[in-house]
Structure 1
Amino acid sequence: MDSQFGNITSLIGDPIRSIVLWTLLDGRAYTATELAICADTSAQNISMHLSKLVRADLLTVESQGRHRYYRFSRQEVAYAIEALANLISHKDQVKETAIDISDIKYCRTCYDHLAGRVGVLVTEKLIAQKIIELQNKVYTLTTKGDKFFRDFGIDVNELKNKRRLFARPCLDWSERKYHLSGSLGAALLNEMLQADWLRRKKNSRAIVITSKGQAGLYSKFKIS
């Protein structure tokens, strides 16, 4: 176990590979060329790093036509990378630019669910309104919550039948509080995007809240 843990930490700790893993947190698949640009390295070098991450089962690769796309092999990898960001000291965080704070920290994706201040507020409102409850380190749905998500257009029974965890707390690195993840968190973000409450920013994990979204967030969660 000690040697396996050491191998994983050394893989993640490499500067090039850490940039690759951080980039993939936006939930999209990337080609080796795109990841090389993000990490500011050569095609040959990124290929070596990606091969190591695939062999360690941190990433998976899929071929479509001429291209090979890389993504996380499983949800737990994304959760682990996001959790590591909680080790960033508050002093280091406050040195970031106003753009970083207003965009990334306010509202962003954490792999496939909503994070940042808005993600945390949504989760806190769900708990305050007794829609979800934290029990044994996972979120459970109340009777009221079952109706709430069905009215939102989310089939909770279908989500519960998926192999991944239904609803779990994910520690937000910028807020240092929990936001909702798991299949329920992913479905909620997807519904907000489909309803045009939220829009993804190009080449960023930051999320823009539309005027329709501002009204919806206040109506459903009392977030202004």
Structure 2
Amino acid sequence: MKEGPDIARVAALIGDPARANMLTALMSGRALTARELAAEAGVTAQTASAHLGKLEEGGIVRVQRQGRHKYVALAGDEVAAVLEGLMGLAAGAGHLRTRPGPKDAALREARRCYNHLAGDRGVQMYDAMRRRDWLTEDEGLVLSEAGRGFITDFGIDLRALEAKGPPICRDCLDWSERRAHLGGRLGRAMLDRMEALGWLSRSSESRVVRFSDNGRVAFDEAFPVSR
């Protein structure tokens, strides 16, 4: 018997169509009820419960029971990163489930990848930070001193982020752009800070992130597109 991680088991858990639909819905970063996930997957509540049991046992989701309801969320950032990577692989290979529409265009422009900014805007921010050497590669993605200054001036408490230990940031493959965007605790803090500044708002019905008019201007000034 071969040793090492059993990727076949994880792939089987994710690969079931109903479970894949549930996991995609959870990429919004919100905890959803079992009933909501059943609707996303197009299955009965009983079938959804069986699927969620398997995902919880496999460490893919965590389930919190509150009263009569079960609230389900992804188990963590690592699960979200794997799912986003699989979305990029599927999109790159042409495995798309629907034709592009208005919702798809909005998702491609800006969306939540679990808890950080993804899509065209997410890649724009990442590229600008790399171009200015705020993010550098040193045995992984790290903030330079200049980057630390920018993040502090932007209103983010770096000490709080670093208190949980390294790394505070990582790159994440964007499924629509098929390039990197910023993930990790720093990616989450950036999205939260931009929302606090009024630059953007999160949709309650999907992963779409919508920028205000002033937010677009401020974002482009902070993270200009390379010319």
Q: For this structure pair, what is the TM-score category when the shorter chain's length is used for normalisation?
A: over 0.9
Alignment root-mean-square deviation, CA: 2.0
The number of residues matched between the two structures is 223
**1:34 pairs with 2:36:** yes
Tell which deviates more after alignment, 46-55 or 162-171.
162-171
Report the CA distance shift for 1:2/1:140 in structure 2 as closer, same or farther (over 3 A).
closer
**1:188 pairs with 2:190:** yes
Letter in structure 2 aligned against 1:172: D
What displacement does 1:202 show? 3.0
Letter in structure 2 aligned against 1:4: D
Equivalent residue in structure 1 for 2:131, among 115, 128, 134: 128
Letter in structure 2 aligned against 1:127: R
**Aligned mates of 1:146, 1:200 — CA distance in 2:** 26
TM-score by length of 1: 0.92
Whether contact under 8 Å (2:91, 2:175) holds in the other structure is no
Task: Report what 1:109 is aligned to.
Answer: 112
Matched position secondary structure for 1:26: coil
Query: Could you report, residue by residue, the CA deviation over 1:65-89 in whole angstroms, capped at 9, with x for unpaired residues?
Result: 3322111112111111111112224
**5 Å matches for 1:60-209?**
60-90=62-92, 91-92=94-95, 96-136=99-139, 138-162=140-164, 165-209=167-211
Structure 1: runs of 5 or more not aligned: none
TM-score by length of 2: 0.91
What displacement does 1:161 show? 1.7
Matched position secondary structure for 2:136: strand
Letter in structure 1 aligned against 2:58: A
Structure 2: runs of 5 or more not aligned: none
**Aligned mates of 2:192, 2:89 — CA distance in 1:** 29
Question: Once the two structures are aligned, what percentage of the paired residues are identical?
Answer: 35
What displacement does 1:100 show? 3.8
Whether contact under 8 Å (2:120, 2:177) holds in the other structure is yes
Report the CA distance shift for 1:93/1:38 in structure 2 as closer, same or farther (over 3 A).
closer
